[in-house]
Amino acid sequence: MSSNLQADLVAALSAIRNPALDGKANYGKYATLPACLEAARQTLSHHNLSVMQMTHTDPDRLVTRIIHTSGEFIEDGGVPLLCENKANPQKMGSAITYARRYGLCAMLGIVGEEDDDGQRATPAQELPAAARPKPAPPRRVADDIPFAPQDSRNDWRSWVDEQIAGFAKHRTTVEHKTWSTTVKDDRENCEREAPAEHERLLSAYVTRKTELEKGV
């Protein structure tokens, strides 16, 4: 990395601000992809930088690249496109949008959703009984996969901890990718009910995938 790229990148990362939380979901407010891109481009352009995101295959992933006017660039290892039905344009589009938002925020160190630590600390019993969603019955996807929790964020946190601990046992990228397919329904439930835990799981998945690709 040249001194010019390094200096401009450091300046940009120091100046960039979190995007506006212009989207709303059942778990709270979040920054949509356009809001994340607007926050990124406004700062990067002032420091001779731009951003590019592209999809790669084998394995399917989305790569975020920061490009300097000198022609140099840095990029991440890619965020997995976790979409089982790639023939469905809507589902594939949603997977790409999520990966772009997650990859951009991670690359630039910005936060794209509300801090939900306070929500985690709120006891479930404070909600009226009629307003609480009924938990789905637990489903065992494999003998060595724990039951997926359905009723609280604390349970999801424990489930994610167990999955991350299991990543260390994966010895090949094929085995690692098979895990993603095996727990597909659980991952989707986790993303819907505890998005922060899902992002933690996804980050650990990407880290282990990179390690396996390097032979670690």
The whole-model pTM stands at 0.52
Looking at residue 92, its pLDDT comes to: 87
Looking at residue 184, its pLDDT comes to: 82
Which residue in 145, 159, 149 sits closest to 124, CA to CA? 149
The string of DSSP codes covering 59-107 is TTEEEEEEEETTS-EEE-S-EE---S-TT-HHHHHHHHHHHHHHHHHHH
* DSSP β-bridge partners for residue 75: 65
Task: For 96-106, write each residue's pLDDT tens digit.
Answer: 998 999 999 99
Task: For 51-90, write each residue's pLDDT tens digit.
Answer: 999 998 777 889 999 999 999 999 988 898 888 777 888 8
The average pLDDT across 44-48 equals 93
CA atoms within 13 A on the CB side of 107: 30
Task: For 140-192, write each residue's pLDDT tens digit.
Answer: 443 344 444 444 445 888 888 889 998 888 888 888 888 887 888 888 888 88
Q: Is residue 137 a contact partner of residue 146, using CB atoms and an 8 Å limit?
A: no
